[in-house]
Each structure stands twice: as structure tokens, then as C-alpha cells.
Amino acid sequence: MTRHQQIVLVVLAVLFVTIVLVDRLVFERYMTRILARLPEADRAVFKTRYRLLRRVVEAMIVFVGVLAILFSFDQTRAAAQTVLASSALLGVILGFAARSTLANFVAGVMIAVNQPIRLGDRVVVGDAEGTVEDVGLTYTRLRTPDNRRVLIPNEELASSRVTNLTLIDSVSLAQARVTVPVTADGTRVREALSDLAAAAPGALADRPGPGVSVADLTADGAIFTVGVWTADAAQAAQTAAWLRERALARLNDEGVLAALEPETAG
């Protein structure tokens, strides 16, 4: 093994050990202590910032290690010195060539600092809805209800309209909308739907629901809504499906011809 090869191996070993020590002894140890003192509502905020900070520090360590290897060889020392001496020009060139990547990186830092989303939040971004699994240096990963993974560039996330369903309060509305003929007995329909609201699975007993109301009157009939509050968006989706299914069955049993209305966002 040549001397240069030995230098490379030593630098790589030091690089690996440094990353492990920083991760295990600094981040994980202090993170555990800090999390133990934080209230539950602040833990997701800290975890999001911690994860991005750890990746930035690891990237900086790798960069320093690469420079150390370049300075270890006569053939590459001059190139490394030139790179450092012309860092401003290099920054402009790299910034232009990798503007999308750098924009995603800067957006990731902004997301970690401003916290429009946090790890574990349920969000809607464009046509994608899911739980935030990871906020990376350039991409944010969502897990959808059907267990798919959606990768969203941080720049797109920072410039898009984001609906966070759990940032302030995870309580979510489960609602079904049904249309009945204008000739139907409104009192009978209201009683049937009220029974469903009282028996809805996942409904919060300590928070009165919106119950049953007439949302609109059209030429085709009356649109009734039945809704309850649930603990989170995932439970709301299940409860809303239950309400839709049971509303149709119950009204048909009552002799009322009903049709489901499409759900509106929010």
C-alpha cells in the first residue's frame, strides 16, 4: 500500500469516526435530554430542526474531509488551493449550475426554522396529502394514507400553499353530505342523521359536533350535512366514510331516496 493510499484511508477513517462521534455523543445525547424537558407540543418542532441541523453538519464534515484528501497529494494540492482562492467565483458558477439544488437547500433551512410543517404533521400540498416523514436537505417526504411516499422539492413546498391539518390542533371534522328530494320529510331525515352522528365511531364526546344541518337547497333537492369532531385527520377520514355509508343505508331504509354529494376541501 502506497503512502498516498494510507493517507486516504486515514482521512476516511477519521471522517467516519468524527461523524459517528458528533452524531452519537453530541446530537443524540443532548437531543434526548432536551426532548425529556420539552412539552409534547414542542417536540415535533425540535425534531424537525434537529434532523436538518445534523445533516448540514455531516455535509460540512464530509466537505472538510474531501479538502483534506485533496491537500494530501501534490497532484491535487494546487487545484484545491485554486478552489479556495477563487471561492467567490466558484460560488457564482456553482450557484448558477446548481441553482435548483441550492434553492431546495435554502428552502429546507427556511422550513426547519419557520416550521410551516413538522415531522408527524398531516398536510396537504397541491394534490398530495399525507404525514410528514422527513424534511431533508432538498426534499420533504410524505407518507400518504395508502402507504405511498411522495417526495416534494423543498423549493416547491416553500412557495406552495400548504394546508397543515395538525399544526395548531389535530382535531378534525368528519362530515358527509347527502341530497334528498325536496318532497322528503325534513324532520325524519334530520332524526335519522342525528342518530348516526351520535353513534359515529371516533367522535369526540367532549366536543359537541356540528351535528345535522341543511347546507343548501337546489332544484334537485335539499342537501343535508352530518358531521362530528374526531381526534385527528386520519380518524376523520375513517369516520366520514362510515357516515357516508350509513347515511345512504339508513335513509334508504326510511324510504328516502338519497344521493351522496362530493366533499368540499377544508
Picking from 61, 85, 109, the residue at the C-terminal end of a domain is 85
Residues 6+ apart with CB under 8 A from 82: none
Picking from 31, 58, 85, the residue at the C-terminal end of a domain is 85
118-153 pLDDT, tens per residue?
Answer: 888 888 888 888 888 888 778 888 988 778 889 998
Provide the β-strand partners of residue 174: 228
Residue-level pLDDT at 101: 66
> By residue range, what is the domain housing residue 236?
172-260
Residue 98 lies in a domain: no
Whether residue 169 has pLDDT greater than 60: yes
Residues 6+ apart with CB under 8 A from 220: 179
245-266 pLDDT, tens per residue?
Answer: 998 888 888 888 777 666 644 4
Residue 197 belongs to domain with CATH number: 3.30.70.100
pTM of the full structure: 0.47
Residue 158 lies in a domain: no
Residue 67 lies in a domain: yes
Residue 218 lies in a domain: yes
23-50 pLDDT, tens per residue?
Answer: 666 656 666 676 666 666 566 666 776 7
Residue 191 lies in a domain: yes
Residues 6+ apart with CB under 8 A from 226: 175, 176, 178, 193, 194, 196, 197, 211, 212, 243, 247
Residue 207 lies in a domain: yes
Residue 216 lies in a domain: yes
Mean pLDDT over the full length of the chain: 77
Residue 92: CB atoms within 10 Å: 11
Rounded to whole angstroms, the Cα distance separating 266 from 7 reads 60
82-95 pLDDT, tens per residue?
Answer: 656 655 545 555 55
Amino acid at 160: S
Residue-level pLDDT at 97: 47
Picking from 85, 114, 136, the residue at the C-terminal end of a domain is 85
**Structural domain count, the chain:** 2
Between these two residues, 9 and 128, which has the higher pLDDT value?
128
